[in-house]
Amino acid sequence: MQATYVEAIRQGIWEEMERDPNVFLIGEDIGVYGGAFKVTQGMLDHFGERRVVDTPIAESAIVGAAIGASFMGLRPVAEMQFADFISCGFDQIVNFAAKCRYRWNAPVPIVVRAPCGGGIHGGPYHSQQNEAWFTHTPGLKVVLPATAKDAKGLIKSAIRDNDPVIFYEHKALYRRIKEDLPEGDYTVPIGKANIHREGKDMTIVTYSAMVYVAEEVAQLMEKEGVSIEIVDLRTLTPLDEETILTSVRKTSKVIVLHEANLTGGFGGEIAARITEKAFESLDGPVLRIAAPDTPVPYSPPLEKAYLPDAQKLLEKVRWLAEY
């Protein structure tokens, strides 16, 4: 059955709400309006207002209420209308939810949905990729699916998980990606990367919307006789280090690609681990491609210049292939 990325997420949430009466939704405009991106459309009518809870514009309250509900045995799915606004609930997430398991072994089975990313001309307050904030916080799981199949399987896994999960959904993928979904109930494991494309000459390690930039370049380079393997991380924490290192040891050349800005981005962590643990397998430097260290521009031409794209990646791939 074919579904878009946004419909896959919607299906996953709907199925989990049907399966487990303790699952409920909380967030801004998720009820009558059906969510800013229509992920929760129709859920208020079907599940009722006790399980689809519209809130004031107060992300700290949304996350705080979700944490409290989780202590009472419920499994909240909290929507941040845009990932950028997660900063308003930052303290609740990183200083409370993330530390409850460590402090007194209390599970906090909440999912914080965070529509992220550029390419929609949303400007500096509606386009950020801020996943690195949370990968630096022990106790949180950070998930960023690239495909519709993974989006559905991972949202279901996130809802069933007993630890807090930050679930990043790239807005530019919502209605752009469409694919067949498996029949019946299925999940995708958190913490396991996927070999999106097999290759032998070079590895591109990436995630979220950048998987498709890597795929475009891999197809172009195939015509030039360079075989590229694409590792789609799917989850940043916990990180599937084994899959990354196995691929790098096979190809001996690697580029780390992400949409978030370069400095302090998660790509630096990946590059460091490759250098520490697979240095002797490398036939060239570990390269990073990311956005520049500026806010995301609103102007379409400036945003295009800001975002990593196939042309920027292609230049680095060709350089590294000849190294």
- Which residues are identified as catalytic? 126
Question: How many Cβ atoms from other residues are within 10 Å of residue 198's Cβ?
Answer: 11
Q: Report the distance separating Cα 252 and Cα 230, nearest Å.
A: 13
Helix axes 5-19 and 148-160, enclosed angle (nearest 10): 30
Q: Report the distance separating Cα 43 and Cα 13, nearest Å.
A: 10
Q: Which residues contact 205 (CB under 8 A, 6 or more apart)?
A: 231, 233, 244, 247, 254, 255, 256, 257, 267, 270
Burial of 305-318, coded b for 16+ CB within 10 Å and e otherwise, reads: ebbbbbebbbebbe
Q: Report the distance separating Cα 234 and Cα 146, nearest Å.
A: 7
Q: Which residues contact 304 (CB under 8 A, 6 or more apart)?
A: none
Q: Counting every residue, how long is the chain?
A: 323
Phi, psi of 173 (to 5 degrees): -95, -15
Tokens of 140: 């949180």
**Element at 180 (helix H, strand E):** strand 178-180
What does DSSP assign to residue 73?
T
Q: Which residues contact 299 (CB under 8 A, 6 or more apart)?
A: none
